[in-house]
Amino acid sequence: MMLKLGVFELTDCGGCALNLLFLYERLFDLLEFYEIKEFHMASSFKEHDTLDVALVTGTVSTQRDLNLLHYARNHSKYLIALGTCATHGDVQASVEGKIREKLEKVYGTKANPMRALDSTPIVQHVAVDYALPGCPYDKDEIYQILMNLAKGVEPPTKDYPVCIECKLNEYECVLIKRGIPCLGPITLGGCNAVCIKSKVGCIGCRGPLPKEANPASEFEILKELGYDEEYIRRKFKTFARGELRW
C-alpha cells in the first residue's frame, strides 16, 4: 500500500524542501512507496487527506505558520521536523529583540497586520516523532528515514560529533592546527564534515550534539585562541538560539 506524504513549508529559505528534489533518481525510488499529497514548492496538486508522514520545514514565524503546523500535526500519523529551522530555530530564531521592535526597525511601523511572531522551532509547539537537523539536512539521511518508515522500521538517530567524521576523512584539524573557530566538537555529525573538507571551520549548522557535548570547554579553547566572549556567544547561538550553555 502506498503511504501518503505531505511536505509543509513554514518560514524558511526553501532549502529543506528543495533538498528533496535534489535526491534526483532516488526521489523516484521513494515514489514507489509514497504518494505526494501536498508539496507546494513542487506541485500544484493538493489533496486534503490524512497523511502517513508529514515533513515540516522552517520556523513558526507567523500565525499562519502556526495554523499550518497544527494542521499538519492533526492530519498525520508520523511528523518529522526537517532541518535546523524546524528542530532548533536556525538563523532567524537567533535574531535578538521582540517582534514589534524588529518590525519597526525593518518596516518603520509597529503595526503587525500580517501577524508576525518571533521565530521559534516547531518542536516547541507540537510533539514530533522524529527530528532531523541540518541546514540543510543530509540527503542520504532523509532517504534512509523515509525508506525505513516505508518498511515499518523506526529510523536510528545519530549521536556523535562532526569531529568523528573529520577524523575518519583524515582532514587536518582546523581548530587545533590552524586556530580557526570550528564548532565541530559540539555539533551533531552526519554531514561528513563537509566544511572541514573546504578547510573552513564548522559553523554548527546541524545544531548542538545532544547530551555529551561540552560547550564550556569549547568556549575556553576559543577564548585561549584569542576570540572575545561576545564573538563566541554569537557563534554558539547562530543555529540553536540559547540551547548551548557554557
Q: Which residues neighbour 25 within 8 Å (Cβ) at sequence distance 6 or greater?
A: none
Q: Is residue 89 a contact residue for ligand SF4 (CB under 6 A)?
A: no
Residues between 49 and 78 that touch ligand SF4 (CB under 6 A): 57-58
* Contact status, residue 80 vs residue 128, Cβ threshold 8 Å: yes
Q: Is residue 85 a contact residue for ligand SF4 (CB under 6 A)?
A: yes
Which H or E run includes 105?
helix 99-107
Binding-site member from 5, 7, 16, 51 for ligand SF4 (CB under 6 A)? 16
**CB of residue 27 vs other proteins: minimum separation in angstroms?**
8
Which H or E run includes 53?
strand 51-57
Q: How far apart are CA 79 and CA 94, in angstroms?
A: 24
* Contact status, residue 246 vs residue 234, Cβ threshold 8 Å: no
Q: How far apart are CA 150 and CA 98, in angstroms?
A: 42
Residues between 185 and 224 that touch other proteins (CB under 8 A): 194-195, 197-200, 203, 205
Q: How far apart are CA 176 and CA 159, in angstroms?
A: 23
Please identify, among the stretches 11-19, 24-32, 144-152, 228-236, the one whose residues bind ligand SF4 according to the rule CB under 6 A.
11-19
- Cell numbers found for residue 96: 535578538
Q: Footprint of ligand SF4 on this chain (CB under 6 A)?
A: 12-13, 15-16, 57-58, 83-85, 90, 135-136, 162, 187, 191, 193-196, 202-206
Q: Footprint of other proteins on this chain (CB under 8 A)?
A: 9-16, 18-19, 21-22, 24, 27-28, 31, 36, 39-46, 59, 61-62, 64-65, 90-92, 94-97, 102-103, 105-109, 111, 113-114, 116-117, 119, 135-136, 194-195, 197-200, 203, 205, 231, 234-235, 238
